[in-house]
């Protein structure tokens, strides 16, 4: 195997049972050095999944609560550090779609262990689809049955990554519902690639609650 | 409009295309039309992209390639502001290159390390520029390009020049003279009338089909291609023997002295304990204040060897440098400015760099990372200046490997031919 990020050779051999297919063999996608650059989130805010020392609500989540939102109880797998920024740069903006495999297995496992009825993916605009060629979140969660319940309103073209916090918070509802699906008493999971301010996810959650969802949680790769 | 001349740029299909450029499909039979490779990776909805040339921006089936023919809109007023003089032998090679420029052919300059390859190029570049040709000088190594840039700018001070590589900050401009890494050639199409590839045998160009494709399509169909190297690869040597590649051979350095031969010293396991022969040599260097380079096989060895030297021979001022070092340019520059007495390094400094009057030690020369050509190049770092035309090249080995012997033989052969031309010790 070759490390998907730094192209160095990784020596790994399947065990006897793996060779004969008794245990599924999942070779590592990354070398030790690259793997250690990504830091997983150990103890986090119970509202947004931010890495911190205790599980109490962080300042941002208290602000969301004051605005009358029901908290998303967001979970992220990894911290958004330099390595993750670099990964996102290569995966999303350079468009190396094959890098989706790196965290795919982990994300699928996480989703399968959750008590939910429906997984809804954050959509990308038509224009981004034509230039980038893929929805980054769909790529990351490939293998999970995703619902494309939401779509981006036609006039929304801008990438969120080019705005600062203030710019993002100013944004009005960017999504609409593409098909009417009864969500009564359904537990919905929203998935995205990166959680930054939470603005995008809360806008999406608003729509889902309007459709009658029982509760909405969210999951992302990085926070 | 100017920025499209001779270029090949990628753009998504849905963006507006200027009316004057020609548009081509990105893939033909699943072959990437930019890099000529078939390293295809899937995208959703039956689309796909090329992984081989991904580093220069993605080419996908949702994109188109834009290009515009090179019109050679230059004034041709070039002044060669270089005042040096070529030796008789260098002049001969230089004349052969000018002849090739007329024939529009391929040409290999096989000249030993420190033969003055760059200077020999000046007349032919000058000739090309005055004929309103567009000239490209490329190399697989960024270091070579960075070192070459000021020298060329000084020699052609009246001509506009642009330097292109991965870490550059300068924007692309339309200029008659382009200095770039070989990867950048993927962004050009039929642009150059004269294209010079320096250090053709070095990584990553040697054995990379994509890069040789890039170079071939960056020059015009009627263009001239000149390869420069001290140690041609087996493939190039084969073409020379077959006679399908015109060759100029220069086995003698510009100062007429022979190449220093690699001396070997047998040592024990140097990774475990620093050899006493090396300590002795280093104390000698310390006494004489001789500057030197130490080559080691692996990046992991750098720090260990550096620490050992500091422990056994204190008061020597040096540093260690490797490819991924963020302060790489800084350290190399410090060595050039006489602020350091030595550098511990891997093969990244094997070619394209000149530190006047240094000696070279190779620790673990029997390691497989040191190929025959790498060793010859490393030995070629020594004695490059007129005021100190010889020097010491010592290889510390646990056992004498085939590569070391082959490198010694190659240098001896060069010296044998050099002697016939009047080379002296």
Backbone torsions φ then ψ of B63, nearest 5 degrees: -110, 170
Mean pLDDT confidence for A131-159: 86
A180 pLDDT above the threshold of 90: no
Phi-psi region of B368 (alpha: psi -120 to 50; beta: other; left: phi over 0): alpha
Q: What confidence category does residue B52 fall into, taking pLDDT thresholds of 50, 70 and 90?
A: very high
Q: What confidence category does residue B423 fall into, taking pLDDT thresholds of 50, 70 and 90?
A: confident
Q: Does A25 map to a domain?
A: no
Picking from A215, A151, A146, the residue whose alpha carbon sits closest to that of residue A180 is: A151
Same structural domain, B281 and B327: yes
A171 pLDDT above the threshold of 80: no
B38 pLDDT above the threshold of 90: yes
Please answer yes or no on whether B60 and A138 come within 8 Å at the CB atom. no
Which of A131, A132, A141 is the best residue to mutate to test the B interface, defined by the most B CB atoms within 10 Å of its own CB?
A131
| Residues β-bridged to residue B237 | none
A99 pLDDT above the threshold of 80: yes
Quote the number of domains for chain B.
Answer: 3
Residues 6+ apart with CB under 8 A from B316: B282, B285, B286, B309, B310, B341, B342
- Whether chain A has a CB inside 8 Å of the CB on B312: the answer is no
Same structural domain, B136 and B104: yes
In chain B, residues with a C-beta closer than 8 Å to the C-beta of A96 are 41, 51, 54, 58
- Whether chain A has a CB inside 8 Å of the CB on B43: the answer is yes
Mean pLDDT confidence for A96-102: 93
Backbone torsions φ then ψ of B298, nearest 5 degrees: -125, 155
Residues 6+ apart with CB under 8 A from B347: B295, B369, B370, B374, B378
B230 pLDDT above the threshold of 80: yes
Q: In this structure, what CATH number is given to the domain that contains residue B173?
A: 3.40.50.300
| Angle, vertex CA B51, rays to CA B47 and CA B54, nearest 5 | 105
- Whether chain A has a CB inside 8 Å of the CB on B385: the answer is no
pLDDT the model gives residue B356: 86
- Whether chain A has a CB inside 8 Å of the CB on B419: the answer is no
In chain A, residues with a C-beta closer than 8 Å to the C-beta of B45 are 133
Q: What confidence category does residue A197 fall into, taking pLDDT thresholds of 50, 70 and 90?
A: confident
pLDDT the model gives residue B294: 93
HEC states along chain A?
CECCCCCCECCCCCCHHHHCCCCCCCCCCCCHHHHHHCCECCCECCCCCCECCCCCCCHHHHHHHHCCCCCCCCEEEECCCHHHHHHHHHHHHCCCHHHHHHHHHHHHHHHHCCCCCEEEECCCCHHHHHHHCCCHHHHHCCCCCCECCEEECCCCCCCHHHCCHHHHHCCCCCEEECCCCCCCCCEEEEEEEECCCCHHHHHHHHHHHHCCCCEEEEEEEEC
pLDDT the model gives residue A189: 93
Same structural domain, B11 and B131: no
A136 pLDDT above the threshold of 80: yes
Same structural domain, B274 and B354: yes
Same structural domain, B233 and B327: no
User: Which range (A108-117, A160-169, B286-295) has the least confidence?
Assistant: A160-169
pLDDT the model gives residue A181: 79
Mean pLDDT confidence for B116-127: 90
How big is the A-B interface in CB pairs under 8 Å?
37
- Whether chain A has a CB inside 8 Å of the CB on B304: the answer is no
pLDDT the model gives residue A38: 94
In chain A, residues with a C-beta closer than 8 Å to the C-beta of B15 are 131
Q: Does B73 map to a domain?
A: no
The percentage of chain A sitting over the pLDDT mark of 70, rounded to a whole number, equals 98
Give Dmax (Cα) for chain B.
Answer: 72
Mean pLDDT confidence for B316-340: 87
Q: What confidence category does residue B227 fall into, taking pLDDT thresholds of 50, 70 and 90?
A: very high
Nearest CA of chain B to the CA of A94: how many Å?
6
Q: In this structure, what CATH number is given to the domain that contains residue A149?
A: 3.40.50
A157 pLDDT above the threshold of 70: no
Please answer yes or no on whether B12 and A131 come within 8 Å at the CB atom. yes
Residue A150 is part of which domain span?
Answer: 38-162+170-222
Q: Does B257 map to a domain?
A: no
Q: Does B47 map to a domain?
A: yes
CA dist A27 and A29 (Å) reads 6
B60 pLDDT above the threshold of 90: yes
> For chain A, what is the mean pLDDT?
89
CA dist A57 and B146 (Å) reads 52
Residue B99 is part of which domain span?
Answer: 88-250
Nearest CA of chain A to the CA of B298: how many Å?
14
Quote the number of domains for chain A.
Answer: 1
> For chain B, what is the mean pLDDT?
90
Same structural domain, B100 and B53: no
Q: What confidence category does residue B362 fall into, taking pLDDT thresholds of 50, 70 and 90?
A: very high
Q: Tell whether the torsion through CA atoms of B240, B243, B246 and B250 is positive or negative.
A: positive
Mean pLDDT confidence for A60-86: 91
pLDDT the model gives residue B224: 94
HEC states along chain B?
CHHHECEEEEEECCCCCCCCCEEEECEECCEECCCCCCCEEECCCCCEEECCCHHHCCCECCEEEEEECCCCCCCCCCCCCCCCCCCHHHHHHHHHHHHHHHHCCEEEEEECCCCCHHHHHHHHHHHHHHCCCCEEEEECCHHHHHHHHHHHHHHCCCCCEEEECCCCCCCCCCCCEEEEEHHHHHHECCCEEEEEEECCCCCCCCCCHHHHHHHHHHEEEEEEEEEEECCCCHHHHHHHHHCCCEEEEECCCCCCECCCCCEEEECCCCCCCCCHHHHHHHHHHHHHCCCEEEECCCHHHHHHHHHHHHHHCCCCCEEEECCCCCCHHHHHHHHHCCCCCEEEECHHHCCCCCCCCCEEEEECCCCCCCCHHHHHHHHCCCCCECCECCCCEEEEECCCCHHHHHHHHHHHHHHHHHHHCCCEC
Same structural domain, B274 and B403: yes
pLDDT the model gives residue A26: 85
Q: Does A218 map to a domain?
A: yes
Q: Does A22 map to a domain?
A: no
pLDDT the model gives residue A156: 62
pLDDT the model gives residue B164: 93
pLDDT the model gives residue B378: 92
CA dist B273 and B305 (Å) reads 10
pLDDT the model gives residue B126: 92
B219 pLDDT above the threshold of 90: yes
pLDDT the model gives residue B422: 79
pLDDT the model gives residue B171: 87
Domain boundary among B250, B282, B303: B250
Mean pLDDT confidence for B125-146: 91
Q: Does B256 map to a domain?
A: no
CA dist A80 and A161 (Å) reads 13
Same structural domain, B51 and B113: no
Mean pLDDT confidence for B64-85: 86
């Amino acid at each position: 195997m070759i490390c998907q990020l730094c192209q160095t050779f990784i020596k790994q051999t399947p065990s006897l049972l793996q060779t004969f297919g008794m245990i599924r063999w999942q070779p590592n996608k990354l070398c030790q050095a690259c793997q250690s650059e990504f830091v997983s989130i150990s103890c986090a805010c119970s509202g947004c999944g931010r890495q911190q020392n205790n599980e109490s609500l962080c300042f941002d989540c208290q602000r969301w609560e004051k605005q009358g939102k029901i908290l998303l109880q967001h979970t992220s797998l990894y911290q958004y550090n330099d390595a993750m920024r670099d990964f996102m740069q290569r995966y999303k903006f350079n468009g190396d779609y094959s890098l989706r495999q790196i965290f795919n297995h982990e994300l699928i496992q996480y989703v399968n262990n959750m008590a939910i009825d429906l997984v809804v993916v954050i959509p990308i605009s038509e224009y981004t689809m034509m230039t980038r060629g893929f929805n980054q979140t769909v790529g990351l969660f490939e293998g999970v049955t995703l619902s494309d319940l939401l779509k981006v309103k036609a006039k929304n073209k801008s990438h969120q990554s080019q705005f600062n916090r203030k710019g993002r918070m100013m944004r009005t509802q960017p999504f609409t519902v593409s098909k009417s699906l009864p969500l009564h008493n359904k537990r919905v999971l929203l998935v995205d690639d990166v959680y930054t301010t939470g603005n995008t996810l809360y806008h999406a959650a608003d729509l889902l609650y309007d459709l009658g969802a029982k509760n909405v949680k969210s999951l992302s790769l990085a926070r | 409009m100017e920025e499209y001349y001779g270029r090949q740029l990628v753009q998504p299909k849905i963006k507006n295309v200027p009316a004057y450029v020609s548009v081509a499909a990105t893939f033909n039979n699943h072959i990437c039309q930019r890099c000529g490779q078939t390293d295809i990776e899937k995208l959703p909805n039956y689309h796909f992209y090329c992984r081989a040339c991904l580093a220069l921006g993605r080419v996908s089936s949702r994109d188109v390639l834009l290009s515009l023919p090179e019109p050679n809109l230059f004034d041709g007023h070039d002044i060669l502001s270089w005042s040096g003089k070529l030796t008789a032998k260098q002049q001969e090679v230089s004349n052969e290159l000018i002849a090739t420029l007329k024939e529009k052919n391929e040409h290999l300059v096989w000249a030993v390390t420190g033969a003055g390859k760059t200077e020999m190029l000046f007349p032919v570049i000058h000739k090309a520029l005055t004929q309103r040709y567009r000239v490209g000088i490329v190399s697989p190594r960024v270091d070579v390009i960075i070192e070459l840039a000021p020298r060329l700018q000084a020699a052609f001070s009246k001509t506009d020049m642009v330097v292109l590589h991965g870490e550059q900050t300068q924007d692309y401009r339309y200029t008659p003279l382009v200095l770039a890494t070989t990867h950048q050639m993927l962004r050009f199409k039929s642009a150059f009338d004269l294209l010079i590839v320096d250090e053709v045998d070095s990584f990553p160009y040697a054995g990379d089909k994509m890069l040789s494709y890039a170079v071939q399509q960056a020059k015009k169909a009627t263009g001239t291609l000149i390869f420069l190297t001290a140690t041609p690869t087996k493939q190039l040597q084969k073409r020379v023997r077959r006679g399908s590649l015109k060759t100029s051979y220069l086995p003698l350095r510009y100062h007429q002295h022979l190449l220093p031969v690699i001396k070997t010293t047998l040592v024990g396991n140097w990774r475990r304990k620093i050899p006493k022969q090396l300590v002795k040599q280093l104390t000698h260097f310390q006494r004489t204040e001789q500057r030197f380079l130490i080559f080691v096989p692996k990046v992991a060895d750098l720090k260990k060897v550096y620490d050992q030297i500091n422990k056994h021979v204190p008061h020597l001022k040096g540093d260690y440098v490797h490819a991924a070092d963020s302060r790489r340019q800084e350290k190399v520059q410090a060595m050039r400015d006489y602020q350091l007495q030595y550098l511990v390094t891997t093969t990244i400094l094997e070619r394209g760099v000149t530190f006047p009057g240094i000696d070279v030690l190779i620790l673990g020369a029997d390691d497989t990372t040191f190929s025959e050509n790498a060793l010859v190049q490393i030995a070629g770092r020594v004695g490059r200046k007129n005021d100190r035309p010889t020097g010491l090249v010592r290889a510390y080995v646990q056992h004498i490997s085939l590569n070391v012997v082959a490198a010694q033989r190659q240098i001896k052969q060069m010296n044998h031919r050099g002697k016939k031309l009047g080379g002296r010790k």
